[in-house]
Structure 1
Amino acid sequence: MGRRKIEMKMVKDSSSRQVTFSKRRTGLFKKANELATLCAAQVAIVVFSPGGKPFSFGHPSVEEVADRFLNQDAPPKHSIPSHPEPPPQPQDDSNVDNLNQQLAELLKQLEIEKQKAEKLEKEIKAGGGEKFQKPVNELSLDELLDMRESMESLHEKLQSRVNEMEASSSLLLLSENPVRMIVN
């Protein structure tokens, strides 16, 4: 199907707006990191969520880029290398242990979700999903109301699961590419 062009206007639904903000913020910070890495550029971005929470990304840091911007006549404090330095290796194993622990927890969650999916598939095959096997135009009013209620419940569960997965994805992305966040 491919990508669709999205009309640029404010998202009306507040939960959809928050989801859109989170996805686009992550993409924006990723692009800024790529620009800083590929072009040895100094980059700073500050954004506020729809709820008013500030997020920032800076390379080498937001403060340093802001100082340079505000004092354009002064030379930069640090020279920009022609080849970016590789990220420093962790000096202690506590950070690696933390990340391994987070990974183990996420793998456990994934296994639990796989088991839930298998259970649901078995229930559907056992007859749990047969009441909606008829075409929609052949259902009675009561069956249509049942279907609507089931679909609304499913939508709520899916939205909740999507939010959980986005949060987990953001944590994994942040653990792979740390981003400095300033929270007041």
Structure 2
Amino acid sequence: MRRPNGRRRIQIVRMQNQTSRQVTFSKRRAGLFKKASELSTLCDADVGIVVYSPSNKVYACGHPSVESIVDKFLGENPTPGTNDPNPIIIAQQNANVDEINRKLNMLERQLEKERKHGQALQALRTEPSHEKLSFSDLKSLCEALEAADEEVERVASQLLEANKVFPYQTIGSAFAPLIVRESTSFDSNEGPSQSSE
């Protein structure tokens, strides 16, 4: 039975191929620096790493800085107040807080505006719904609607007599203008005639 080509252990010995050695160094160096950063963040530890590549280039990673870690390790020039916050970071944080506060104030103003708009709309809904109306109230509402219908018919007939253009059709396309011609007639039972489109 053949073994799958999954993760296999490699022998930890010096690589002979220089190109492979350089590629492996680059990949492992990034992982090493990432682990050092995680250790510093998780454990609140001061971490410093100095690495020389196969081509003799120096790479360093440290928190709060490589120099402060080296000085602390050697006991030379201990830097006072290394835990003091960086003024550049504080300025950036303050700028972020100001921006967030500005957005929050704008959203609160919009919310208050919408709340007032909602209250105004609620105030307009003072009439009870038709389901809660009594028979006499429904009869009064019906008479008021009939009176409004008669007023609409009266205005429509005046516009027909004056050959005016109706702004919109009442049946069919709601956005196509309706032009009333002289030859169209008006019947109070059918409503205004529509022109052919």
Whether these two folds match at TM > 0.5 is no
TM-score of the aligned structures, taking structure 1 as reference length = 0.41
**Which protein shows a greater Rg?**
2
